[in-house]
């Protein structure tokens, strides 16, 4: 029996869409090598909100990427945009199940923050805490190794910046 189902439904319109009482407008699309950034405006009555939507397109399903560099770049771009905006809404991260790729991104972001602030990181503690918060975060040993790879790469980057 074939297991045929749509893994990722595009829940945003190409230009404009109405979802219940909410109108969604795509104001701008920026195609990057490994992800796409969309500036969206959500309107409901007289209320409107701007949302920056990042879609990481190069993570293979049921695998880990060969390199962590694109994920680090995405994470750094998200952090830079967060600093540059006056709107302090939350960063929302999701994937198909909400635990594998999502867990890797969040664990990497937390670990990079620890490296910047404390000069050291405890990836195991990060993943254990994430799993207490949401069961199954960072689903496989390969994903856990990938988080380590990403943090090692980021630590090397910080060391190189410190030398300069």
Total count of domains within the chain: 2
Same structural domain, 63 and 23: no
Q: For the domain that residue 66 is a member of, what is the CATH number?
A: 3.90.190.10
Same structural domain, 48 and 93: no
Same structural domain, 86 and 31: no
Do residues 26 and 13 make contact, with C-beta atoms less than 8 angstroms apart? yes
95 annotated active-site: yes
Closest CA to 68 of 151, 159, 157: 151
User: Which one from 8, 32, 95, 104 is the annotated catalytic residue?
Assistant: 95
Range of the domain at 30: 13-57
Kindly state whether residue 18 falls inside one of the protein's structural domains: yes
Kindly state whether residue 22 falls inside one of the protein's structural domains: yes
Kindly state whether residue 41 falls inside one of the protein's structural domains: yes
Interval 50-64 mean pLDDT: 87
Interval 138-153 mean pLDDT: 95
Same structural domain, 120 and 154: yes
For the chain, what is the mean pLDDT?
A: 89
Same structural domain, 74 and 119: yes
Q: Is 98 annotated as a binding residue?
A: yes
Over residues 66-83, the pLDDT tens digits come to 999 999 999 999 989 888
Q: Is 119 annotated as a binding residue?
A: no
Q: Is 99 annotated as a binding residue?
A: yes
Reported pTM: 0.86
Kindly state whether residue 5 falls inside one of the protein's structural domains: no
Q: Which of 38, 57, 76 is the last residue of a domain?
A: 57
Over residues 100-142, the pLDDT tens digits come to 889 999 999 999 999 999 999 999 999 999 999 999 899 899 9
């Amino acid at each position: 029996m074939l297991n045929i189902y749509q893994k990722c439904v595009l829940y945003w319109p190409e230009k404009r869409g109405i979802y219940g009482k909410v109108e969604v407008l795509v104001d701008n699309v920026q195609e990057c090598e490994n992800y796409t950034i969309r500036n969206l405006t959500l309107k409901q009555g007289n209320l409107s909100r701007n949302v920056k939507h990042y879609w990481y397109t190069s993570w293979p399903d049921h695998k880990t990427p060969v390199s962590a560099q694109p994920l680090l770049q995405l994470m750094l771009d998200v952090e830079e945009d967060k600093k540059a905006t006056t709107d302090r809404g939350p960063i929302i991260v999701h994937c198909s199940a909400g635990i594998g790729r999502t867990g890797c991104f969040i664990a990497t972001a937390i670990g990079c923050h620890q490296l910047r602030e404390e000069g050291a990181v405890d990836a195991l503690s990060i993943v254990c805490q994430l799993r207490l918060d949401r069961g199954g975060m960072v689903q496989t040993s390969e994903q856990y190794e990938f988080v380590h790879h990403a943090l090692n790469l980021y630590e090397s980057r910080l060391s190189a910046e410190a030398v300069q």
